[in-house]
Structure 1
Amino acid sequence: MDIVRERYEIAIERIKEISTENISNEKYQEYFSKVAKFILKLNSVKDEIESGRLKEYTTEQLEQLNYELYEDIYKENYEASLANPKFACEELGEEYGRILCYVYKKIRDLIGNVYRQELEIVTLRIELFIELFYYFENSEELEYRSIEEAVYSFEKDNTEIFVDDMVDWRVNPKRTFAVDIVMNSDLNDIRYLYMYGEHIGANEIGMAQYLNSLSQSEIDSLAHVYTEGYRKGFVIAGKDLSIKDTVDIRYNIGFERIIKSAILDFEKMGLKPIIYPLGYGSTMCNKQYWFDHKFDEALYLDKAFVKRKLEVAKQAFENRKDLALKMAGPAVIEIFGENPFEPESKKEAYKLTKEQQKLSAGYINEYQRIVQEHIPGDQRSFTIIAFPIPEFGHNFKEMFDATVKINTLDSEKYEIIQNKIIDELDKADYVRVVGKGDNRTYINVKLHELNNPEKETNFENCLADVNIPLGEVFTSPVLKGTNGILHVSEVYLGELKYKDLEIKFEDGMIADYACKNFQTEEENKKYIKENVMYNHETLPIGEFAIGTNTTAYAIANKFDVVYKLPILIVEKMGPHFAVGDTCYSFEEDVELHNPNGKEIIAKENEVSALRKIDIDKAYFSCHTDITIPYDELGEIVAVTRDGEEIDIIRDGRFVLAGCELLNEPLK
């Protein structure tokens, strides 16, 4: 560490010179001066942290510092920011503008590293910046290839450091940066929010203040729903929680009171908390900035890089195999209420080539297999729950209370109703789903054949355990014979909004797709391929489900916020289809039963079955749920082998006998 600190101090002295130094080509003068000054700002923050002075700052001082660190990417400043690839290319030329914009983004990403006092990573990136400055300092010898090679070498040569650090954060409970903030701060003093180094905005402040207005018993109750769901996940799946030591906690900054109570609950289960840097975060101050840099890896992604990254990931997990094996799985608090984001597609932003798309998809898949090998799916579980944030609007508090109601519905009542639905669906050869009005959905979903209907079922009865709130029955369809069109007029998936999303399936595989977000068909297809299909050429239907949580649907319509809800809740508000892996990926051979004792046999399809002969072809490492809301739904009909039709839903209402209670919230 002394060597790293010495390198850091040498680098900072050079940065001080660069911040005022003139270079022969004035076009790049402002860029290097501005980025150097930002690095010096980070250095001053480092000094305040190491001296302990940062903890003595007033709320106003911390707010001002946070603003200064993030002001360049605020929406009002972004059009003229060198972190914006469009502006960078206009100012610096297209050839060098994109790559220098990338470097600035990498420097900006160091804010969190500085707060976590990760000096080696900070030093490495500063040294890259200095190396590039030397090339630009003498523009007569400037060649783009030299700049590109410098960046490529930096990423590849330091992969071991970056990946090893990432893996260590994921499994090592001694990395307690965020845990210390949660457990050792006075959470009534919102200054603690600024100790992460993340952008702190109205959502984070408002959420912390709201939770501080609740009693400890109310906080404990909220946390207990979350932790109890986690515990039940192990019980229902017949997995042994007692052999695990750690839990992977994920949340948005501002929820610390709930997280602190949850940690105490988990400790009673014998679990120590792990909160790694990607496990906490804040709402983005500018989603366009995120979207512009989403595929920056296009700059250096090739076969050699992917091979190297996978090698070091495997070794990093192998070096920590005992820690990894003790990981019980993720416990996630999601948020909703942000205004929908419709991105601008910029030609100046990096894009993956077709070859890089395959490499990226292949890397993700192979990395997940490495994780699966060291944190086996048949020994871990998870839970996910969601709450609104202040951006939801003036009735945020009312929606928060409504969400608590949604998250704590009576499981026993729903279990009985959903059993009735499953009993009828289990008679079917296929299920027909048809939209109404402008919705063009018409799809037949083929089901597995049951050898012993008295003891077997195709559908899981999903109650409030790992996937909160309750309210769906789901299956992994047979691909051959699953054909048709899935259409949704408007849907919000993974931070992004889609208009008129339409997907065509042939034998359960995506054959075509379209939307109307952009002016050209090419842009729309690229948008779907990158963000729904994760750069795969096709994906199977991994799940078909019928959502039964009409209470959630009624509340969403009352507040007119269907478009703001997370898929975690939306998927319970109508039928939904997931493209990608099944819900049981890597766990197909784990025996599972519904509460009534019937074994769930539909846990694989023709693609995931390939794991037995060629695992490379079996999984896609993605699973995206797309829901048809009740008001766009014409019918869901179970069709038996004899041609008998059993109505489940007609015109957005449940018509199956015994399901009348589900229609009450819709009146």
Structure 2
Amino acid sequence: MIFERYEIATSRIREIINEDTVSEPFKSFFCKASEFICKIDDLNSIIKSGEINDFSLDRLKELNKSLFEEIYSENYEESFANPEYAVKTLGEEYGKILCYIYTKNRGMIRNVYMGRLEEVVLQMELFTQIYNYFEDVEQLEYDNVYETVYSYEKDNTEIFTDLMIEDRINPDNKFAVDIVMNSDLNDLRYLYKYGEHVGFNELKMAEFLNSLSQEEIDRLAKVYTEGYRIGFINTGKDISKKGTVDIRYSLGFERIIRSAIFNFKKMGLEPVIYQVGYTTTSPNRQYAYDHRYDDALYLDKAYIKRKLEVSRHAYESRKQLAGKMAGPAVIEIFGETPFEPENKKQAYALSEEQQKLKSEYITEYQTMVQEYIKGDERSFTIIAFPIPEFGDDFEQMFKETVKINTLDSEIYGKVQQNIIDALDQAEYVKVLGKGDNKTNMKVQMHDLKNPLKETNFENCLADVNIPLGEVFTSPKLKGTEGILHVSQVYLNDLKYNDLQITFEDGKIKDYTCKNFDTEEENKKFIKQNVMFNHETLPIGEFAIGTNTTAYMVAKKYHVVYKLPILIVEKMGPHFAVGDTCYSFEEDIKTYNPDGKEIVARENEVSALRKTDIKKAYFGCHTDITMPYDELGEITAVRKDGSEITIIKDGRFVLEGTELLNEPLEEI
């Protein structure tokens, strides 16, 4: 049936190219979109026949380029995938929604490679239905076009959501696993089997890893997988109850992933690699940024209700599979050229009501997932490596990163324990900036009922969160107040200039930055990308980073702005806004290596889970780090007013932390 519908749809779309039933400027749009779909049909033919397996590397590069070149930066200005161009060409009324249709069509690339014709057919049928409206201009009404798109998204939610959840937890879906385990990884043609954009980073990363010995690859994989295994041990969770691991990585890292899969299998875990699990560096980050809120077109209460219903049904019908999921094992990348986005008024944006709806949906969905993939039974690990876009020093930086990722946990554990012992005497901690940095924060600590057996801070070493190098807590919100200021910081790959956030009773009261010309634009930028459209967020974490080796390397190569938050958060004090580090796991007792229970696992907001879980979580956790050279002081203040200074003028001054200053002297 699907094949018949596919043939009917492609035949009809091929006819559109030569028809004159639609007037300009819409004719140009539908012809261009039809040509792309015909290209998808041709792609399906060479994949289905197996012809693509005989393509040379150069021919695969050309094919990949032909599929993605339209959204390359140099071509994007005159692409219907660009909302600015679409509105300019097609008008305000229809430009945005046709841009949405055009962008949705691009999802056919991945689905054809995966052999998922049903999703391709649904998109083709939507396209032809929209085209039919434009054939009769006199009868053309925006409401008809809109209702068709809305019905497509809502009515097919069951199909899309079911596939997404199936991919996430079922190890029998081996599309990506087969590529990793059964390809000749020395033959870089394997990269083009995913149906993703393959560029400089992916090719050069694979080439670089192919230059390493198997012993070196296995050593890198072991750091990654041992962190995962130790995470279960340190939190007292039984990994033997689990059967699958959610592996996430970027294309080019397949040699490490293959070795890691062997390690995970020894732990009794089968790999699950789903669509979102493997990524590539974007051919154009502005394109992705322009379409980040496309769901504003159809997001309403009815849609959210339907999506939650089908999600629950999908998980309920796979209850046993979900229960076997041990959690994510993630390899992150860093080194991309910094990106400062352009805010386009033509792009879809969520209304205030939609922002609230989406936030509520995220909370409800995450709560639902916790029922099936229980937080008190699963763990995770994250590690990061540079990519070739880093620059001429890439290979040296890769070696430095390996060094950072493998620092001695035993040595750092003792040093960090000295910091924790001092902080545990504090009623509150004051954090001050120096020079032009305006930071002046008072961070309220939880009371320790039994200091001999309890602590506020976790001694974070190299397990789930690699590399090692921080002590962190969930501070008490009431009494936590002040200004957090950072001259430059990168959060979720976006740069913020002079980011300043004001807190009152641990919650965001005001915020600004200097990215744009107007205060309105600056506030909107922060609200969308730091606060994820919430009206306010609490401080979920206060931490002191101790990995001065990473800081020294960053300064040496002048690349602080290119490092991921995973490393940057270890390079100075940081505050996270959003959920705590223990979200959904507050009731699990957690202990430091010294045997003390970490009691600061919740705050006044996350405690609301006991009465109204919708008010307890936000579905986000964004770390904002102050570099050592902007740091004037971190001091623990006891109830009697006496003080213990941890850091002064960017240097550790607490007895027992002298080791941490050694890398700083090399700068």
Same fold (TM over 0.5): yes
Q: Distance in 1 between matches of 2:636 and 2:21?
A: 73
Counting aligned pairs with the same residue, the percent is: 67
Q: Distance in 2 between matches of 1:318 and 1:273?
A: 21
Q: Distance in 2 between matches of 1:393 and 1:23?
A: 52
Residue in 2 that maps onto 1:198 = 196
Amino acid at match of 2:432: V
Residue in 1 that maps onto 2:554 = 556
Correspondence list, 1:369-384, <5 A: 369-384=367-382
Correspondence list, 1:348-363, <5 A: 348-363=346-361
Residue in 2 that maps onto 1:302 = 300
Residue in 1 that maps onto 2:86 = 88
Residue in 2 that maps onto 1:385 = 383
Match of 1:579 among 565, 577, 580: 577
Using the TM superposition, give the Cα deviation of residue 655 of structure 1 relative to its aligned residue in structure 2, in angstroms.
Answer: 0.2
Is 2:427 the partner of 1:454? no
Match of 2:441 among 437, 440, 443: 443
Residue in 2 that maps onto 1:591 = 589
Q: Distance in 2 between matches of 1:416 and 1:97?
A: 61
Match of 1:488 among 483, 486, 489: 486
Q: Distance in 1 between matches of 2:131 and 2:612?
A: 48
Correspondence list, 1:26-425, <5 A: 26-425=24-423
How well do the aligned residues superpose, as a CA RMSD in angstroms?
A: 0.6
Using the TM superposition, give the Cα deviation of residue 24 of structure 1 relative to its aligned residue in structure 2, in angstroms.
Answer: 3.8
Q: Distance in 2 between matches of 1:24 and 1:636?
A: 67
Using the TM superposition, give the Cα deviation of residue 346 of structure 1 relative to its aligned residue in structure 2, in angstroms.
Answer: 0.6
Using the TM superposition, give the Cα deviation of residue 55 of structure 1 relative to its aligned residue in structure 2, in angstroms.
Answer: 1.2
Q: Distance in 2 between matches of 1:592 and 1:11?
A: 57
Q: Distance in 2 between matches of 1:240 and 1:209?
A: 38
Using the TM superposition, give the Cα deviation of residue 23 of structure 1 relative to its aligned residue in structure 2, in angstroms.
Answer: 2.3
Gaps of 5+ in 1: none
CA, structure 1 residues 333+24, in 2 after alignment: closer, same or farther (shift >3 Å)? Answer: closer
Residue in 1 that maps onto 2:10 = 12
Amino acid at match of 2:525: Y
Q: Distance in 1 between matches of 2:310 and 2:608?
A: 27
Amino acid at match of 2:397: M
| 4+ residue segments displaced more than 3 Å | none
Amino acid at match of 2:278: Y
Using the TM superposition, give the Cα deviation of residue 138 of structure 1 relative to its aligned residue in structure 2, in angstroms.
Answer: 1.2
Q: Distance in 2 between matches of 1:658 and 1:27?
A: 72
Residue in 1 that maps onto 2:639 = 641
Q: Distance in 2 between matches of 1:502 and 1:658?
A: 33
Any idea what the Cα deviations from partners look like across 1:475-513, whole Å, max 9, x if unmatched?
000000000011111111112111111111000000011
Is 2:500 the partner of 1:502? yes
Amino acid at match of 1:61: R
Amino acid at match of 1:152: Y
Normalising by the residue count of structure 1, what TM-score does the alignment of the two structures yield? 0.99
Any idea what the Cα deviations from partners look like across 1:171-196, whole Å, max 9, x if unmatched?
01011000000000000000000110
Any idea what the Cα deviations from partners look like across 1:128-150, whole Å, max 9, x if unmatched?
00000000111111111111111
Q: Distance in 2 between matches of 1:363 and 1:612?
A: 19
Using the TM superposition, give the Cα deviation of residue 626 of structure 1 relative to its aligned residue in structure 2, in angstroms.
Answer: 0.4
Is 2:553 the partner of 1:535? no
Amino acid at match of 2:154: K
Q: Distance in 2 between matches of 1:492 and 1:501?
A: 10
Amino acid at match of 1:309: K
Using the TM superposition, give the Cα deviation of residue 525 of structure 1 relative to its aligned residue in structure 2, in angstroms.
Answer: 0.8
Using the TM superposition, give the Cα deviation of residue 44 of structure 1 relative to its aligned residue in structure 2, in angstroms.
Answer: 1.0
For these two proteins, the number of residue pairs brought into alignment is 665
Of 138-147 and 209-218, the range deviating more from structure 2: 138-147
Query: 2:25 is paired with a residue of what secondary structure?
Result: helix
Any idea what the Cα deviations from partners look like across 1:208-240, whole Å, max 9, x if unmatched?
000000000000000000000000000000000
CA, structure 1 residues 639+188, in 2 after alignment: closer, same or farther (shift >3 Å)? Answer: same
Q: Distance in 2 between matches of 1:16 and 1:567?
A: 47
Q: Distance in 1 between matches of 2:106 and 2:593?
A: 50
Amino acid at match of 2:461: L
Query: 2:540 is paired with a residue of what secondary structure?
Result: strand
Amino acid at match of 2:136: N
Amino acid at match of 2:447: E
